[in-house]
Structure 1
Amino acid sequence: MREVIQKYGIQHVWHFTEKSNCRSIRENGGLCSLRELRQRGVTEFIPGGNEWSHDADRYKDVDQYIHLAFLDNHPMLYCIKREGRIKEPVWLQIDSSILFEENVFFTNKVSNANDAILLSSEEARQAIDFEVLFARTDWTDPDIKARRKAAMKSEILYPKFIHISKIKGWKDG
């Protein structure tokens, strides 16, 4: 993964949430996975997922991870906004150094999809189309557009908790 980060100059990755959750993030000293929030007894937050996606996360055992995106326009946010689950979305900018830590996994599609598998950083280098995410390509070409649409669904799964010091900024979504 280090080669991919260097090749494309990836300095940060992204997490979207409801703006009102920022208070809870500060109070808890960082971002928590859904499972960690439950274990801490945190109930005052607005989740992005619905009950179906939370059930799928638990079934796939990915509720123990914080779900991150390589770019600040993951397609799930579009769905969540359309359904009205998040009223004021914000994107949290996370230092890319977290990608080198232990027990970080990746998926080349939405992580709770039936056929999604957790990938190591080495496997992710091969399975995720980083070129179409970060290099200049002709997005009007139907083949490239399809590749990009698929690659945009990839996720980074960070275990349990991201310390607030790794959150470098935020912007409205």
Structure 2
Amino acid sequence: MPEIDPLRRIPFLYHFTDRRNLQLIRDMGGLFPLAELEARGVKIPAPGSDEGSRLVDRRRNLHRYVHLCFKSNHPMEYVARQEGRIEDSIFLQVHASVIHWDGVLFVPGMANTSGITFHTIEEAREMVDYEVLYTRTNWSDPQIQRRLQAAEKYEILVPRAIPLDLIRNLSNG
């Protein structure tokens, strides 16, 4: 019997943003890497990242990717809200098929973290903690909590625009 691809367990990926950015996303026709927005001279109404983070992203070429996460919460979104960059957040649900696009990378933590490693999706199959992400577990267990905190930092980096038809809840924004 053929083995089921564990990546099929992923129902959606998520991109967090401020609701003030939704009209721009609609007007542009999807989610674009920061590098492409900058090349087009597009001003983002409410950037989620600060200038220091964007500088690190540019230096490491991370601005060439759309950043996605596995859960509808992420530590970077929390910080952006606390610092006032995001006032009214929304986690856009992105169809998980983008995982299979050429050049997509998996990061087992926040992508701009010093020393973080980048992996192919093939490698990610064995690295993602599917159990803690997608099954009911004992949330009071400290080990489970640590695993969940680690998994909530995972990122998927998509090297091109994600069109509107792959964003499920944009019309609800």
Counterpart-to-counterpart distance in 2, 1:44 and 1:16: 14
Superposition deviation, residue 44 in structure 1: 4.0
Report the TM-score when normalising by structure 1. 0.91
* 2:52 alignment partner in structure 1: 52
**Pairwise mapping of residues 15-34 of structure 1 onto structure 2 (< 5 A)?**
15-34=15-34
Alignment of 1:89-100 (within 5 A): 89-100=89-100
Any unmatched runs of 5+ in structure 2? Answer: none
Looking at structure 1, the residues matched to 134 and 75 of structure 2 have their Cα atoms a distance apart, in angstroms, of 16
Deviation at residue 126 of structure 1 after TM alignment = 2.2
Q: Tell me the distance in 2 between the aligned counterparts of 1:69 and 1:147.
A: 15
Partner AA of 2:129 in structure 1: D
Deviates more, 1:97-106 or 1:121-130: 121-130
| Secondary structure at 2:56 match in 1 | helix
SS at match of 1:27: helix
Alpha-carbon shift at residue 120 of structure 1 (Å): 0.4
Residue 153 in structure 1 maps to residue 153 in structure 2: yes
Normalized per residue, the structure richer in strand is 1
SS at match of 1:106: strand
- Contact residue 93 and residue 167 of structure 2 kept, 8 A: yes
Aligned residue number for residue 116 of structure 1: 116
- Say if 1:35 and 1:160, in contact at 8 Å, map to a contact too: no
TM-score by length of 2: 0.91
SS in 1 for 2:149: helix
Residues 7 and 125 in structure 2, CA contact (< 8 A), matched pair in contact too: no
Any idea what the Cα deviations from partners look like across 1:29-59, whole Å, max 9, x if unmatched? 1111111110111014321000111111112
Give the aligned partner of residue 129 of structure 1.
129
SS at the partner of 2:169?
strand
Percent identity for Structure 1 against Structure 2: 38
Match of 1:74 in 2: 74
Q: When the two structures are aligned, how many residues end up with a matched partner? A: 169
Q: What is the letter of the counterpart of residue 141 of structure 1?
A: D
Rounded Cα–Cα distance in structure 1 between residues aligned with 2:77 and 2:140 = 23
1:167 aligns with 2:167: yes
Indicate conservation of the 8 Å contact 1:110/1:155, yes or no.
yes
Whether the 8 Å CA contact 2:12–2:93 is kept in 1: the answer is yes
How far apart, in 2, do the equivalents of 1:144 and 1:90 lie? 26
In structure 1, the gaps of 5 or more residues are none
Q: Quote the residue 1:13 is aligned against.
A: 13
